[in-house]
Amino acid sequence: MKSICLMLFVGVMSLTTVAFAQHDAHKATEQVATPEAQKSFDAMKGLAGNWEGPVTVEPPQPDMSDDKPVHVSLRVTSRGNALVHEMQEAGTPLDAAKYDHPVTMFYVDGGHLTLIHYCDAGNRPRMFARPSADGKSVEFDFSDISGSTNYGHMHHSVFTFIDSNHHIEDWTYMMPGDKPVHAHLDLKRTE
């Protein structure tokens, strides 16, 4: 009986030591957001709400019409640690199986404001923010990607803050063969 109790005690102590070691290792790798990253993230969170506006695509694409407005929803989630950006053609039902519905997540990680775009093309590019000197825009530069790039991928994004009810989003998509397509969204708050 003593040997079973001793083995149980040693096992519990081993697990406790491992748990504390993992916790301390995680704490050692955590990085505090830089003031610039946190300021940019706070500005992005100020966009929470619903937005609509026209889209201009350059060069024009056969399956994208400039006369169809886009709807963008932004909401703060995860106790203020993440911002969800959802985009779809205005007036279409929320049916991701039938209509385009990319989702983008913003969060601060490793001291950087990070964007991951869950693309309808089946991939997930990650970008890091580069705030402007005047604080009126946040630019995201491509870092890396998960998933296939057979149909292209999102490569760059800029959010420009006009006022509390108006912002602009510029997205650059790289088509196969590294041919850029630029989408310019001029968005007004709807609620």
116-151 pLDDT, tens digit per residue, is 999 999 999 999 999 888 899 999 999 999 999 999
Min mean pLDDT across 11-25, 79-93, 170-184 is at 11-25
Residue 99 pLDDT > 60? yes
Residue 153 pLDDT > 90? yes
Adjacent-strand bridge partners of 89: 70
In the predicted model, what is the mean pLDDT of residues 63-85? 89
Q: Where are the domains of the chain?
A: 1-30, 35-189
Q: What is the pTM of this model?
A: 0.80
The larger pLDDT score, comparing residue 98 to residue 156, is at: 156
On average, the pLDDT of the chain sits at 84
% of the chain at pLDDT higher than 70 = 79
| Domain 35-189 CATH superfamily | Calycin beta-barrel core domain (2.40.128.20)
Provide the pLDDT for residue 30: 52
Residue 24 pLDDT > 90? no
Q: In three state form, how does the secondary structure of the chain look?
A: CHHHHHHHHHHHHHHHHHHHHHHHHHHHHCCCCCHHHHHHHHHHHCCCEEEEECEEEECCCCCCCCCCCEEEEEEEEHHHCEEEEEEEECCCCCCCCCCCCCEEEEEEECCEEEEEEECCCCEEEEEEEEECCCCCEEEEEEEEEEECCCCCEEEEEEEEEEECCEEEEEEEEEECCCEEEEEEEEEEECC
Q: Read off the pLDDT of residues 33-60 as tens digits, 9 standing for 90 and up.
A: 688 999 999 999 999 999 999 999 999 8
| Residue 87 near residue 66, CB atoms below 8 Å | no
